[in-house]
Structure 1
Amino acid sequence: MNRFKGRLLNHLTSVDRTGSVSVIEEALRYNCTPASIYNSVITPVMVDLGELWHGGRITIAHEHHASQIVDGLINMVVQKSQRLSINGLRALVTSPSGENHWIGAKIFANLLFLEGWDVEYIGVDIPAEDLTIYLEEVEVDVVAFSVVLPGNIMSVEDAVSTIESLDNPPFVILGGPAFKGFSGEIGKAVIVDNFATGLTVLQDAMGIGAGNLSLQDTLLGVGGKVLEIRRAKG
């Protein structure tokens, strides 16, 4: 996957949409799973782009243009991949108040869709109170939060608290760079370290199969699940 990652980064820093598309198309031809493309190619490339911008090696205009190209690539992966049969489960994917990074949430929403979920992706920066009102009107089995900035952990804590106050609260899963090195607990929510882990945790919690995950993705998810269990045991 490293060769795809390196080529994609080169094309994006040159804001080359055609070249970027060709990299993802090739990865799909090599039967790379959506989870592996998202987790091992697109996500780390976006991290690299952010570091290039912070280091002054590309402008904010370049970074924004690259992000728009990536949005198209994220959509292309789901459009060119086979969706599993509908599993009857419904998930809501979002980010808490103050969190404006959208890529992680959108990627996870797409992966759930491919796994047969009915997915409500409602965007980012959603206040806890508004989300709770929405959940009182729309029944879902799972709420997934993507959090990039550690400063937004308090916001997601508020959101989880209000969700768990509902009469029949959904299963809550949290993920994103904000939780790197985080060893605490946030209500009854499960914290995961990557997309594959998130899918594995939900498959286990909801009693469904492995779906579109490859063996490598599954092992990655199992490793994350073991980490989550160890955290729970202290």
Structure 2
Amino acid sequence: MSPNAFHSAQNGRTPRRWVDELWKAVTDGDEHAATEVVTSALEEGLDAESVLLDVIARVQGRVGEEWAANRLSVASEHTATAINDRAVAALALHPASRTTADRGRITVACVDGEWHALPARILAEVLKLRGWHVDYLGAQVPTPHLIAHLHRTNCDAVALSSSIATRLPTAHAAITACQAVGVPVLVGGAAFGADGRYARLLGADDWAPDARAAAERLALGPLPRPQPHHQPIDDLPHLADQEFTLVARNSTTLVRAAFTGLESRFPAMRAYSDQQREHTAADLVHIVEFLGIALYTGDDDLFADFLAWTSGILAARNVPPHSLPPALQILADELRDFPRATRILRLGIERLTSAALVPAGNTA
């Protein structure tokens, strides 16, 4: 804890209390109250980095958890995220956040297709507080635009953010393109795995689990410069079997086949409302997408972990997840000539079936 944060705690204004106040503001949809919480925390001595990481980021993490548990609607989650973004903006404009940029230049961006920009925004502000000149490019940055920016600037590194594993192929392309122009890449976000395994797999120059760790890594010294003549296929030789490419190319056909097959196995689906049918189709789209990503990375467990998460989400919404194994079997039948895909799907069925056999409350 910093001296300012310690002083604030001595006055009874710990980060925990600010978290509670900001949580109330964002769940009430009260933007003015949220910015007042941030301003008050700064004025009462909590340092700006602690406000970012120990208050705003913590509240945003809770927003995601409450959405997953079905205690926040999608609309409420979006509102809370937008208000937290405004809270970051209020902090950035506060006199307590003024610093001199004397440590070098970092570009912070989200990979193309990544709309969850708040983690990258928080990182950008933390780096500014630590004396970096930061070019924050925001959400869903197309790789050609990112490279054009690097050509115009004398950038020391790129910090690339992604929260969803389905963006890994795009992240891989962005990492490789940045390295091709001589700029090293630090990556972060849930897409790269809790231990950074996919960062290493895709050839990133370094990985950090959160904004504080990323800032501390950059403070240690320059990232290693990219290896010359590196090719993406060097990282993922299994892609030569074309299974990922063919599954991705035929995803619409696979989703349609799974939906039609489920209707025949579950006649009750024929009475579904339009909204229920849309949700079922969306779930199948995600299943096929994550199957593709498991093929891309060569990691069977990635798909099994996604299914476990999906099963929990469905249960929280009172939707029985019993239709998942049949959907996977239909896909396995469609992909019977794809050995890696069928192996991954069978593993998913086994994991779901085993989990269903474990009595509630038994973690053995």
Q: TM-score, normalised by structure 2?
A: 0.52
The CA deviation at 1:79 is 1.6
Instruction: Spell out, residue by residue over 1:81-123, the C-alpha distance to the aligned partner (whole angstroms, 9 max, x if none).
Output: 2433221621111011221111011111122222332221111
Instruction: Spell out, residue by residue over 1:33-74, the C-alpha distance to the aligned partner (whole angstroms, 9 max, x if none).
Output: 222222221112112222323433333332222222212210
State how far apart, in whole Å, the 2-side matches of 1:154 and 1:32 are. Answer: 40
Is 1:173 matched with 2:178?
A: no
Equivalent residue, structure 2, for 1:87: 102
Equivalent residue, structure 2, for 1:196: 212
The CA deviation at 1:188 is 4.5
State how far apart, in whole Å, the 1-side matches of 2:149 and 2:216 are. Answer: 27
Is 1:50 matched with 2:64?
A: yes
SS at structure 1 position matched to 2:111: coil
State how far apart, in whole Å, the 2-side matches of 1:88 and 1:48 are. Answer: 33
Q: Which amino acid aligns with 2:79?
A: H
Aligned counterpart for 2:177 among listed residues 158, 162, 170? 162
CA contact (8 A) 2:31 2:86 kept: no
SS at structure 1 position matched to 2:160: strand
**Correspondence 1:41-120 to 2 at 5 A:** 41-80=55-94, 81-87=96-102, 89-120=104-135
Instruction: Spell out, residue by residue over 1:3-61, the C-alpha distance to the aligned partner (whole angstroms, 9 max, x if none).
Output: 22122112211112233223222321342222222222111211222232343333333
CA radius of gyration, larger in: 2
Q: Which amino acid aligns with 1:26?
A: S
Q: How many residues align?
A: 205
CA contact (8 A) 2:161 2:187 kept: yes
SS at structure 2 position matched to 1:124: strand
CA contact (8 A) 1:146 1:174 kept: yes
Aligned counterpart for 1:205 among listed residues 221, 227, 240? 221
SS at structure 2 position matched to 1:123: strand
**Correspondence 1:131-170 to 2 at 5 A:** 131-166=146-181, 169-170=182-183
State how far apart, in whole Å, the 2-side matches of 1:121 and 1:102 are. Answer: 10
Q: Could you say what the CA RMSD is over the residues aligned between the two structures, in angstroms?
A: 2.2
Q: Which amino acid aligns with 2:190?
A: P
The CA deviation at 1:190 is 1.0
CA contact (8 A) 2:178 2:184 kept: no
- If asked which structure has higher relative contact order (CA below 8 Å, sep 6+), I would say 1
CA contact (8 A) 1:98 1:125 kept: yes
CA gap of 1:18–1:197, structure 2 versus 1, over 3 A, is: same
The CA deviation at 1:170 is 2.1
CA contact (8 A) 1:90 1:117 kept: yes
Structure 1 stretches of 5 or more lacking a match?
A: 208-234
The CA deviation at 1:159 is 0.9
CA contact (8 A) 2:116 2:139 kept: yes
Structure 2 stretches of 5 or more lacking a match?
A: 1-14, 224-364
Report % sequence identity: 25
CA contact (8 A) 1:35 1:195 kept: no
Equivalent residue, structure 2, for 1:230: none
Aligned counterpart for 2:45 among listed residues 11, 14, 31? 31
State how far apart, in whole Å, the 2-side matches of 1:177 and 1:79 are. Answer: 28
The CA deviation at 1:77 is 1.4
Equivalent residue, structure 2, for 1:226: none
Q: TM-score, normalised by structure 1?
A: 0.78
CA gap of 1:150–1:86, structure 2 versus 1, over 3 A, is: same
CA gap of 1:130–1:84, structure 2 versus 1, over 3 A, is: closer
In terms of fraction of residues, the more helix-rich structure is: 2
